[in-house]
Structures are given as C-alpha cells and as structure tokens.
Amino acid sequence: MLTELHIENFAIIDELDLTLDSGLNIFTGETGAGKSILIDAVEALLGGRVDTNLIRSGAAKAIIEGVFTIPQSMYDSIHPLLENEDLLDDPDYLVLNREIRANGRNVARINGRSVQISFLRELGGRLVDIHGQSEHLSLLQVNHHIELLDKFSNSEQEFSRYKTLYKNLQSLKHQLAELRQQEQDATRKIDLLKYQIDEIESAHLQEDEEVGLRTERNRLANAENLANIIHNILQMVDEGSPETSSITDLIGQTIHELQNLARIDQSQNYLLDQTQSAFDQISDLTYQLRNYLENIEFNPKRLEQVEERLGLIQNLKRKYGDSIESVLDFAQKAKQELETITHAGELIQQLEKQQNELLEQLAEAGEALSRKRREHAGLLSNRIENELRELNMESVIFKVDFTQHADDQGVRLSDGQKVAYDSHGLEQVEFLIAPNPGEGLKPLVKIASGGETSRLMLALKNVLAAADPLPTLIFDEIDQGIGGRVGGIVGHKLWNLSHKHQVICVTHLPQLAAFGNQHFHVYKLIQEGRTLTRIKHLQGEDRLTELALMFGEISEGTLQSAKDLLTSVSQRTSLR
C-alpha cells in the first residue's frame, strides 16, 4: 500500500508530505483546493501521462515520490518483475520516483535506479487501481473483464491448466511452421548443405595446421636469404677467413692460455671452466646451424603447394567462419540440419499427431474453464445488481456476455463445433449494462458515465474483494450524482472494502467521509501572491468542524448533525 507521498512543484503544490495508513483514507475540501491534483500526482507516479504544464510556474521540474509496502500476497506478482531488472532491495518496501522536467524529459526511478516509463506503468498497475474521472479505469478495459470474472469464479486452477496447454500448443505450432518451411525449401537446401559439407570435409582440415603452414611458407619463400645468413654466421663462428680467425679458434687459444694460468695459480681454475663451457655452447650452436642449413629447401613446388593450401583455408574461413575450428563447427551443424531436413516429413507427421492431441486436450480444458465461468456469471450479475441497488442504481441490469466465434482452424468442442481460441480461453467476455428501464443491454465501456463507472467498480470490488490482491484502491469523487442517504451506504461499503485493501477516497459527502479511518482536509491559501495547496490531518474537534461545514455553514444544527453522523457510523462499524 501507499504509505508516504512526497510532491514538489506539481501544479499548485509547492511541497507536500503525506503519511497514509491502511484502511479508509478520506480527502475532503472545497472544489479547486487541489484534491484532484493529488490523484493526478499519484497517476503520474504510477507511470501515467503528464504534461509539462503541470510543473509549478517558475520551477525547473516537478518531483513525485511514493513509498509502498508490499503485502506478502503480492510477492509472486511484484518480486519477479523487480528481480528481472535487478531492482529488488527490500522484499517488503518499494520506492517510486518521477521527475517531470521543463525541457520535456521525464525521469522514472524505482528504488533509486532509472527505469523506462513503460516499466513504471506496468509495476504501478500491480500496486494501485484508480477509479474516477480519468482514463485510468480498469473496468473500461474489456480485456480486464474476463480476469475479473475468473477471480470471482475462482478459476485459477482451470485457467492454469488451459494456459499451460495453450503455451505448449503455440510452441509446437512454431516448430511445425519451421519444419514445413524447411520442407518447402528442402531440395535447394539439401543441395546447398551437401555442397558445403563436402567442400569442408574434402579439405581434411586440422585445427592447428594453419600456424605450421604459415611458418613453412615463410621459410620456403626466404630460403636463399636464410642460407646466406647461416653461412655468414658459420664463417664467423667456426670457419674464419685468411684475415680473421673464427670465434672457435679464438676461444680455443683462450682456453690454452687459461690452462697455463691455472697451472701457475690454481685459484683461477674457475675461469678455465667458464671458458670451456662457452666453447661447448659455441660448438652446439655450430652443430644446430649446420643442421638447420641442411634442412633449408630451395623448393618452389612445395612453396606453391603451401600457398594453395593456405588459400584454400582462407577461402573456407571467408565462407564459414573466422577460424578452422569455426569452419569445422559449421560443417557439424550443417550435417545436423541436413539430417533434420531429410527426416522432416517424419517429424512433421509426429508433431501433427501431437498437435491434434494437444488440441483435444485444449478443447477439454477450455470447455471446463468456460463452464466454470458461465456457472458463476449469473451469480456475479445478481450480486453486482444487488450492490448497485444499494448505491442508488435500482434499475440497472448487469450481464456478463460470452461470445464465441466459429473457426475451421479452431478447437473442436464436444458438440462437434469448431471455435476460435486464444490465450484467455474459448470465448470473449464483456460486461454489459442497461442503466435505465426500457434500454437494451449495451457495452459498459461505451455508455457508463464517470459516476456510474465508479459505483460499478465499487460494487465489483465489494463482490471481488476476497479474490482481488491489489493493495490500494483510489476512488475520485465516487459520490457524483448521489445523495446523502446513498452516500452513507457508499461509505459503509468503502469501509468494508478497506479491510482487504487500502482505500483512498475523495468526496464531498459528509455521510461518506464519516467512515474514514483517517480524514484529511485539502485547502488552498495565498502566500506572497502565489496559490498553494495544503493538507491537514483532521482529528477530534477539527474533524467534527469539517463534517459540519460539509453539511453547510457552521451552526448548532450542523455541528449536531456531524456528531450524530459520527455516532451512527461508530455504531455501524462496531457491529462488524
């Protein structure tokens, strides 16, 4: 539920902090004081559309922030949504923030992290339902009607089975569509796959051969230069020239002199050992260089073969992957695809058989779901009509309309008829009403006025309260078009509703306001030439005075009426 609300620079609100409790929260005040602005701010906080004109004059931005507690009953609905976006900090609390900037940019945050407005709207729809004059009316969304009926009829088990079968069927259809497309392209595709597989396999690729080939090509291409280099090194190290002794000769002479030195001074033996070691290393170097020289090939034919092999590998990499490993992997996948296509006909037959079985199971589950819905539709209509009679809508007829469409590609019912189906079932559901005597039933979304819609939703919420987990319900001027007597009935119903939900209600009727667990007075004042909205939490004498003012001018009569009203409400609510 909404526990704290902070608003800055929104319309005529400069800064406002509000703390709300569970139960029924009532807001009263004169027209134009800012009650509806509060509702607009909450709508904006939940991801609703806002205009930069709502930013207070002279301010760069408007800020709205709300703190919500998450009841355990909503964990399964809200936690996965937050976890998927890495936004879940505390399982029991949630902070929403909306900034509306003068430059037209909107910033939405959840638990301090930026999110898209669409995500804020999706999450907000699971926290609060607003009923009133705005477009945010769940009752006016036809696709919501079937969900309300399912909650009332307690059809979760039947719907869950249907939805699982529906998802399995959609997945199977997707597989079949792919296989049929593959079958249509089979001849061309088979030829292409066979060519690709043969081209790769005939190359007899080895994963590590490219490095070796590049090394060999480098050696073959530079054979003459390499031989010259080795000859030069050997001449300096081992062969020498008439003018210059070789390194080997020089080191040999050095060893001879060191031997003479060691005979005289044995402490210098270590120098002889070091020089002998150097001589051995030079000898080993000479051996390796001569061996390397013997293996240098002047072989243009082999160079041509290596170039051709590297060209083949490069061509295959260009077609099938950026490495030999990728090329071989491509060939393996091509084999698997070829096998799938080759046996596509068999697979299609198997999947078609499974599809027919799933369609039969879906028809059975769909009919069970439809029976449950239809069995409870009449009961829902009766209960809503009874609620509406108490809400001064005595003549309203309410009906749940079911529509099925014949479809040759649909599911076959037990009576042999084939009907269309979707993720919600085998029918479309829509609420119809006849608000006045003599008028036929018509779609609720087309003819219900704002006040009627609010009372209809109140009736629905009272009927569905036990099944509906939505934490917070907001009713904006639900008392439109009703008098004091019915206002008391509406107030009692809202009070009953507040035992399952947090209820926030804007009203002009004292008979309704008296049922509030918390009562707030919204008023405006002029300060330094600017109009400001303020809110006061009313208790004791302040609340009595507000209720008296709602009856008329303050007098002994209105004060007594307010006292009598509070006494009557206290007696009615204590009987629960």
Q: What is the mean pLDDT of each run of 10 residues along the chain (576 residues)?
A: 94 92 93 86 90 89 95 88 91 94 89 92 88 57 85 89 94 87 73 88 87 80 79 80 79 85 85 86 86 76 83 89 90 86 76 92 95 94 88 86 93 93 94 83 72 72 72 81 77 88 92 95 88 91 94 92 93 78
CA dihedral 139, 140, 142, 143 (to 10 degrees): -60
The pLDDT assigned to 134 comes to: 47
* E strand map for 55-110: 61-69, 93-101, 106-110
Yes or no: say if 223 and 293 are a contact pair by the CB < 8 Å rule.
no
This prediction has a pTM of 0.61
* Start-end of H helices in 296-401: 300-320, 324-342, 344-390
- A 10 A CB-CB count for 136 gives 24
**Spatial separation of the C-alpha atoms in residues 408 and 214, rounded to whole Å:** 65
* Torsion sign (Cα): 200, 202, 208, 213: negative
| Amino acid in position 262 | A
What is the predicted pLDDT for the residue at 136? 44
**For position 44, what pLDDT does the model report?**
92
Q: Do 544 and 566 meet the contact criterion of CB atoms below 8 Å apart?
A: yes
Bridge partners, 194 (sequence order):
none
| Angle between helical axes of 450-464 and 484-497 (0-180°, round to 10) | 40
List the structure tokens of 509.
């009727």
Looking up tokens 């091509």 gives 334
How distant, in Å, are the alpha carbons of 260, 263, 279, 511 from that of 257?
Answer: 5, 10, 14, 125
Judged by DSSP in three states, 490 sits in: helix
Q: Do residues 448 and 380 lie in contact, with contact meaning Cβ atoms separated by under 8 Å?
A: no
pLDDT at 467: 62
C-alpha separations of 348 from 182, 335, 341, 536 in Å: 11, 19, 10, 71
Residue 73: CB atoms within 10 A of its CB come to: 11
How many Cβ atoms are within 10 Å of 334's Cβ, its own excluded? 18
**Would you state the pLDDT for residue 408?**
92
pLDDT of residue 135: 41
The pLDDT, as a whole number, for residue 1 is 92
Give the H/E segment covering residue 398. strand 397-403
End-to-end Cα distance, the chain: 23
